[in-house]
A and B are shown apart, each in its own frame.
Chain A
Amino acid sequence: MGCKISRIEYFLPKDVLTNEELERSSGRWSADKIEKKVGIRQRHIVRRDETALDMAYEASIKVLQGYDKNNIDFILLCTQSPDYFLPTSACILQEKLGLRTDIGAFDFNLGCSGYIYGLAAAKGFIHSGVAQTVLLVVSETYSRFIHEKDFSNQAIFGDGSAATIIEKDNEEFIFEFVLGTDGKGWDKLMVPYGGLRHRYDPGAEAIEDESGNLRTPNNLYMNGTEIFNFSIDRVPRLVAQVLQKNQLPMDAIDYFIFHQANRYMTEYLRKKIKIPEEKFFHDMLHTGNTVSATIPIALRETLGQGVVKQGDRILLCGFGVGYSWGAVVIKI
C-alpha cells in the first residue's frame, strides 16, 4: 500500500507589487537590481479584506474542480496567518467547501518547511488508516505582517496558496522523509507581538534598521544573515540525509525542488550541493517567496510545463522559520 499526490493547484491574489513600485517607494534600489539579486520581478499581495483562509478556499475550489469532493476525508491546513486564534481555519474551510462532516480537519503553524510536514502527516494518516484522501492546503499572507516601510522584506515575500490532494494507492509514490527542528532559531524570523506573550501594541514605535527599513515589534522581523547561515549549513546535510534514507545516489534524482527563499540563496545552495542547473527549479520571478506555498507552486509549474514527467523522482526540500526543516523523495 502507498499514497500519491494526485492533484495540485494554486491561487495567487490579484494585486501585485512590482519592482518599479518598490524602486519608487524605497528610493534606494533600481527595479533591475532587485530582480538580479533576488530573482523576483513582482509579488502578489492580498487586499486588506482578503485573508489566507480566502486564498485557501480559492486554491481548494480549483483543485476540486472535476473531482468528487466527497472523497476528501481529511483537511490539513498550514498557515501562520490565520483568520482567528480560534476556531481553526480548517474547520471553516470544511464548511465553505461543503465537505463531509465525518472528516478530520486541523491547522498547523509552520512556514517554509510546512509543505513537507503536510505531506508527512498525510502519508502517516493514509498508512495508519485514519484517512484515505487528504486535502493539504498551504496559505500564507506575510504581507500583512510587513511594515509599509520595510522594503527588504517586501522585496522578498509574496502571498499565495496551494491545494494538494494526496490519495491512497496500491503503489508508493511518497517515499522516506527527513524532518528536523532547532528552536534556537526561534527569534531569527518572527512576528514578536500579536500573540499572547506580547499582545499587539497599536502604539509600538517603529525602529529603523541598518539598511534603512522601518518596523515595529508588531511586524515581521527577519535576521537575513542568520537565516542564510542556517540554510547553507543545514540544507546540504538535509539533502545528503534524505538521499541516504531513501538509499539513492544523487544522480538517481530527476529533479530538485527547494523552497524558493530568494534566488541568491537557492543558487548558492545549488552550487554548494553540486546539483546540475537543468535539474534544479528556479522560479520566483512572478510570485516572490510565498513561504509554505513555494514548493507546491513549483511542482504545479514543472508538471504543467512538462519539465517533470510521470515516473520522475523528485526531491523536495523546505527550510526556514522555527528553525524547521524537512525533505522527501516523491515520484509523480
Chain B
Amino acid sequence: MKKRTFFEEILEWMEIEPVDINEDTVFRELKDFDSMAVMSIVAYADEKFEKTLSAEQLQGMNTVRDLMELIGMDYFD
C-alpha cells in the first residue's frame, strides 16, 4: 500500500478531519483523537491487513510510524 493512501485511510477510519500527516505524526496530538479512534485503528488493521493489535502494543504506539511497524513495514512502499 502506498503510504499516502494509508495516511488518508487511517484518518478516514478514525473519522478525524483530513490533515497532513506523516510517519512522525503523534496520534495524541491529532484533534479529536480518543479511545474510539484507537478502536478504529484496531478495526482498520483487522479489516485491511488481518492484523490483530493488542492493547499492550497500542499502549506503546505514539507515532504513525509505530503503527506502521506494528502492522508490518513490508506492507508499505
Top 5 nearest A-B pairs (CB, nearest first) are A225-B55, A211-B35, A37-B36, A226-B55, A268-B43
A264 close to B (CB within 8 Å):
yes
Question: Are B35 and A228 interface neighbours, CB within 8 A?
Answer: no
* CB atoms of A224 and B35 under 8 A apart: yes
**Most chain B Cβ neighbours within 10 Å, of A28, A152, A224:** A224
A226/B54 contact (C-beta < 8 A), A232-B46, A268-B43, A272-B47 known: yes
Contacts of A226 in B (CB 8 A): 54-55
Point out the residues of chain B lying under 8 angstroms from A268, CB to CB: 43, 47
Instruction: Please state if A223 and B34 are interface contacts (CB–CB under 8 Å).
Output: no
In the complex, whether B39 has a CB less than 8 A from a CB of chain A is yes
**With A224-B39, A232-B43 in contact, do A29 and B34 touch (Cβ < 8 Å)?**
yes
In Å, the complex CA distance between A298 and B54 comes to: 31
CA A64 to CA B42, docked complex, whole Å: 44
Residue of A nearest to B43 (CB): A268
> Is A229 an interface position by the 8 A CB rule?
yes
- Is B35's CB under 8 angstroms from A152's CB? yes
| Chain A residues with CB under 8 A of B35 | 152, 210-211, 224
User: Taking beta carbons and an 8 Å cutoff, which residues of B are in contact with A?
Assistant: 15, 32, 34-36, 38-40, 42-43, 46-47, 52-55, 58-59
Q: Which residues of chain A are within 8 angstroms of B40 by Cβ–Cβ distance?
A: 264
Query: Is the contact region of chain A dominated by helix, strand, or loop, or is it mixed?
Result: helix
User: Would B36 and A38 count as touching, CB distance under 8 A?
Assistant: yes
Considering the complex, give the chain B residue whose CB is closest to the CB of A226.
B55
Other-chain residue from A225, A233, A272 in contact with B58 (beta carbon distance below 8 A): A225
A211 touches B34 (CB 8 A): yes
Judge whether B52 and A229 touch: CB under 8 Å.
Answer: yes
Among B15, B34, B47, B54, contact of A225 (Cβ-Cβ < 8 Å): B54
Cα A129 to Cα B23 in complex, Å, equals 65
Whether A233 pairs with B47 at a CB distance below 8 angstroms is: no
Distance between A152 CB and nearest chain B CB, rounded to angstroms: 6
Q: List 16 A-B contacts (CB under 8 A).
A: A33-B32, A38-B36, A152-B35, A211-B35, A224-B35, A224-B39, A225-B38, A225-B53, A226-B55, A228-B39, A228-B42, A229-B55, A232-B42, A232-B43, A264-B39, A268-B47
Residues of A contacting B32 in the complex (Cβ-Cβ under 8 angstroms): 33
Report A227-245 residues with CB < 8 Å from chain B CB: 228-229, 232-233
How far does the alpha carbon of A233 sit from the alpha carbon of B51 in the complex, in Å?
11
**Given known A38-B36, A264-B36, contact A233–B52 (CB-CB < 8 A):** yes
Shortest distance between the CB of B59 and any CB in chain A (Å): 8
Give Cα A268–Cα B38 distance, bound, in whole angstroms: 14
- Min distance, Cβ A185 to any Cβ of chain B, angstroms: 12
Q: Which residues of B contact A228 (CB under 8 A)?
A: 39, 42-43
Contact code string A251-273 (vs B, CB < 8 Å = 1, else 0): 00000000000001100100010
A272 → chain B closest CB, angstroms:
7
Is A225's CB under 8 angstroms from B43's CB? Answer: no
Tell whether, in the assembled complex, residue A229 and residue B36 are in contact, meaning their CB atoms are under 8 Å apart: no
| Alpha-carbon separation in the docked complex, A70 to B40 (Å) | 51
- Shortest Cβ gap from B28 to chain A (Å): 9
Highest count of chain B CB atoms <10 Å: which of A211, A228, A233, A265:
A228
Q: Give Cα A83–Cα B31 distance, bound, in whole angstroms.
A: 43
Binary interface encoding of chain A residues 22-54 relative to chain B, with 1 for a CB under 8 A from any of its CBs, else 0: 000000110001001110000000000000000
Alpha-carbon distance between A322 and B67 when the two chains are bound, in angstroms:
29
A37 neighbours in B (Cβ, 8 Å): 15, 36
Chain B residues whose CB sits within 8 angstroms of the CB of A265 once the complex forms: 39
Contact B34 A229, beta carbon cutoff 8 Å: no
Closest to A271 in B: B47
